[in-house]
Structure 1
Amino acid sequence: MHGIDLLIEHENEGTALDFKATQYLKPNYEALLKDLMAMANAPTSGDRYIIIGVRMNADGSRDFIGVEPEEFVDSATYHQLVAENIEPELAFDYIPYTFKGVKLGLLRIRDPDDAPYMMRKAYGQGLRHGDAFIRLGSHQRRLTRPDLDRIFQRRILQQASVNVQVAFDGSDNPSLLRIPASSLAELPSQRAKRKILAILAGRERAQQNPGIGLHSMAWGLGSIGFPGPTPYEGRSTEQLRKDLEKVEESYHEHDLYASFEQFAQKLNFVLLNNGTQYVEDASIRVLIQKEAGLAVASMIHREPPSAFSPLYMPVLFERYPKVESTETHYVVTADVGDLRHGIPSLAFEEPLRLVLGSKLVGQSIDIQVTVFGKQLPQPRNESLRLSITPPREANPAQTDES
């Protein structure tokens, strides 16, 4: 942590930095609570630090006293103390940190953005319910009414400067997308099954009518190269019956590829920051209401290899969003990154694959979108809707089992 080293060695105490010679032990827990509240309420942004084991001298020099390893306070002790006494929730870390061979304590308050922080209840002799403190420069005092006014005014300005909109990609209506049901033609396993049944039926008729040749019965049906290099016409009847029993298993990957890559609809969202400041580390969560006839792919399904192109290399590190399933919803999450103001950003690098069955035509599917980001005072929530229209004409060009 090169930046922490610079703070320890060169920076003076200020609004976001304080040095303490010794750890906060139980007799001075009141001081710890006051210091944390004061720093969290300070009129600054970003993380704040209390470096323990360093004594600042009047001339600006510093003595590195350090903390004995066996005396280092467990961070869980501080977390329990703060959780029970300060509201709202205050996020911080307390970890050992070695600087030039000296073990220090690093107490980092993680970008508090929900001020004012105050006492949840009375503690000890000096802290009462509702007490709050603020740090200004290297000093702290009780929070006053003007301080509260400034805190809330800052929050209002921050909310006004961050305005993230969520819309469907490719729709004129940001909250409504009319999307056709999937044109689900015959799947590879169904075509293979039909092919096998036709050959078996032809052979049965040939046995009943010796005047009809097997070749003529199979003529015009084409050839199937999956699975294996031998066309179905060239296999024994016994083998064909075995193939028929396992046809869905044999063509499972082919069916997934056809369903989610050839016939599925693709869905993405656009995020637009209309505010005046960046939104850093944005992420998105999408809840898609489950309906009969709806399926959402959990990954990208690549076209399986054929008997004539056995060298198949899967594509690695694809940036498809994470898809999980609950009893009522599909839950889709992804990291988006920074949202620059005025520049639209796609939510997913690879759009979602949705299979929409014909029974969904005329129905609507509710979608709840939540955007998170470092500068967002509260997560941004949007309610969107898919309206399912009749499917487009199926694509006649399909890969046969050949």
Structure 2
Amino acid sequence: MNRLLEIAHSATPGTRIQFRRELYGNKDIRRFLRDVLSMANASLMGNRYILIGISFSRGTKKEVVGVDRADITGKPAYQTLVLDHIEPPIQIAYHAVEIEKKRVGIYEIGDCQDRPYMMRVDFSERLRRGDAYMRVDKTALKVGRRALLQMFDQRTEIAVPEDSIEIGFPGEVIQKKLTVPTVYLRRLPSLLEHGKLSELAGIRSESKNSGSTTTMARLTHMRLFGSDMPYENRSETGIMQEIDQIDKKHEVHDQKFLFEDNALKLQLTILHQGDGPLENAWLKLALPNHRALHIAETLPKLNVNGGSDQHDVLNFSNYPAVSFQGDRIHALVNVGAIPAGVPVNAFEIPLHICVGSDLAGKQMTMRYELFASNLNQGSKGKLTIVFRKPAAHQISDF
């Protein structure tokens, strides 16, 4: 952080450093993508930085304006935007530092040696698939065909053949197919309470229509919630309002059910059988976005010793970046350097998934693509996940 403070204090605009007075926000996503592209394609070594909340008048007078103190995430979701729109993958992180009692945001873009970086899909009429920009001094310039070819030529001079790479599920030999159990999602805490409250609302409605006492409602409440939860004479409308709030009320409990208690912790193995190491490798996965397939975007927070304070179980920064785009779910992870001839795990923290029983007896294709600075092109392939019925102990609970 001292390094970032020093940059915010003393840096001036140039090829490596860009300053911006205001947050990008949802209205300026095109400019954000263009700026990231131009930084990534800049002809230099090492990290690059975009500082938010600082302006330079006429290029010399520095003014610290600051950004909203509530903003600590670099909204909009910058990692998802970069993942969905730019290829090859770019390592980018957002930091917040304080100078002159004002908060300044810093986008830190990792060392980009896999040029050229280009738009992988259209964003708008002004930023189309295949577009590339390069920062030269203080300006973002659109990259022409000749410059793009030069970048490709530089990359292929040290390229590793993509057919030297094998990716699959761990085992004595790398597997291309994995069989996993499914889970009865009706056991989700929110769905269990939804069913109980719906039944209680039905009893209240029947009592109201028949003019009977609340005896039946009391008995139903005790059967559903037990004697530990005192009975409250709630109206049908009140119960329906509770139902509307169930998802929010049980969000943490549902996340724990899905991604801790019933999670499949998915790991992949990468074996590079070439002569030298792969440099700055990234792995990208794509799976169908099925309603019964749940993939954790972040890991759940759990109570410590039953208390009210919560803590992060694992370091979220090491968990794969997960994004949902239309009918696809994407996951991206920076694997780093991959030595030759040694199987390595793709994920420092495995991908946490939970599969509902609606997929039991079916199978799903997971596509992957591995990028690296010294790969001529991405190494692509597909794996198969087969879903079996829930475990016997879950069946016995019904």
CA distance in 2 between partners of 1:218 and 1:289 (Å): 41
Pick the aligned partner of 2:155 from 109, 113, 116: 113
Residue 82 of structure 1: how far off its partner (Å): 8.5
Q: What per-residue deviation string (whole Å, max 9, x for no partner) do you get for residues 168-206 of structure 1?
A: 13586621112222343522123334444666749959x
Q: Percent identity?
A: 18
CA distance in 2 between partners of 1:309 and 1:77 (Å): 52
CA distance in 2 between partners of 1:209 and 1:166 (Å): 66
Asked if 1 retains the 8 angstrom alpha-carbon contact of 2:365 and 2:382, the reply is yes
CA distance in 2 between partners of 1:243 and 1:219 (Å): 18
1:89 aligns with 2:150: yes
The answer for the alignment partner of 1:311 in structure 2 is: 309
The answer for the alignment partner of 2:185 in structure 1 is: 184
Equivalent residue runs for 1:27-176 within 5 Å: 75=136, 83-85=144-146, 88-90=149-151, 112-115=154-157, 159=161, 163-170=164-171, 174-176=175-177
Larger Rg: 1
Secondary structure of the equivalent of 2:269? strand
**Compared with structure 1, are the counterparts of its residues 89 and 384 closer, same or farther at alpha carbon in structure 2 (3 Å cutoff)?**
farther
CA distance in 2 between partners of 1:309 and 1:180 (Å): 32
The answer for the alignment partner of 2:234 in structure 1 is: 237
The answer for the alignment partner of 1:380 in structure 2 is: 379
Residue 292 of structure 1: how far off its partner (Å): 4.7
**Compared with structure 1, are the counterparts of its residues 196 and 359 closer, same or farther at alpha carbon in structure 2 (3 Å cutoff)?**
closer
The answer for the alignment partner of 1:270 in structure 2 is: 269
CA distance in 2 between partners of 1:372 and 1:220 (Å): 57
CA distance in 1 between partners of 2:207 and 2:230 (Å): 14
Asked if 1 retains the 8 angstrom alpha-carbon contact of 2:174 and 2:269, the reply is no
**Compared with structure 1, are the counterparts of its residues 90 and 198 closer, same or farther at alpha carbon in structure 2 (3 Å cutoff)?**
closer
Residue 214 of structure 1: how far off its partner (Å): 8.6
Residue 327 of structure 1: how far off its partner (Å): 1.9
CA distance in 2 between partners of 1:170 and 1:390 (Å): 22
Asked if 2 retains the 8 angstrom alpha-carbon contact of 1:82 and 1:90, the reply is no
List runs of 5+ in structure 1 lacking aligned partners.
Answer: 1-46, 50-68, 92-110, 116-153, 225-230
Q: TM-score, normalised on structure 2?
A: 0.53
Q: What per-residue deviation string (whole Å, max 9, x for no partner) do you get for residues 83-103 of structure 1?
A: 454673327xxxxxxxxxxxx
Q: What per-residue deviation string (whole Å, max 9, x for no partner) do you get for residues 271-330 of structure 1?
A: 112233221211111111334532322121224689x62222344742210111222321
RMSD: 4.5
Residue 270 of structure 1: how far off its partner (Å): 0.7
Secondary structure of the equivalent of 2:247? helix
Residue 242 of structure 1: how far off its partner (Å): 4.7
**Compared with structure 1, are the counterparts of its residues 204 and 177 closer, same or farther at alpha carbon in structure 2 (3 Å cutoff)?**
same
Q: What per-residue deviation string (whole Å, max 9, x for no partner) do you get for residues 242-262 of structure 1?
A: 534433332233223212332
Asked if 1 retains the 8 angstrom alpha-carbon contact of 2:279 and 2:372, the reply is yes
Residue 377 of structure 1: how far off its partner (Å): 2.9
List runs of 5+ in structure 2 lacking aligned partners.
Answer: 1-42, 46-58, 60-134
Secondary structure of the equivalent of 1:237? coil
CA distance in 1 between partners of 2:261 and 2:329 (Å): 21
Q: What per-residue deviation string (whole Å, max 9, x for no partner) do you get for residues 30-78 of structure 1?
A: xxxxxxxxxxxxxxxxx999xxxxxxxxxxxxxxxxxxx9xxxx93899
Q: TM-score, normalised on structure 1?
A: 0.52
Equivalent residue runs for 1:336-375 within 5 Å: 336-375=335-374
**Compared with structure 1, are the counterparts of its residues 395 and 171 closer, same or farther at alpha carbon in structure 2 (3 Å cutoff)?**
farther
Could you tell me which amino acid in structure 1 is paired with residue 193 of structure 2?
A
Could you tell me which amino acid in structure 2 is paired with residue 232 of structure 1?
M
Secondary structure of the equivalent of 1:255? helix
Secondary structure of the equivalent of 1:277? coil
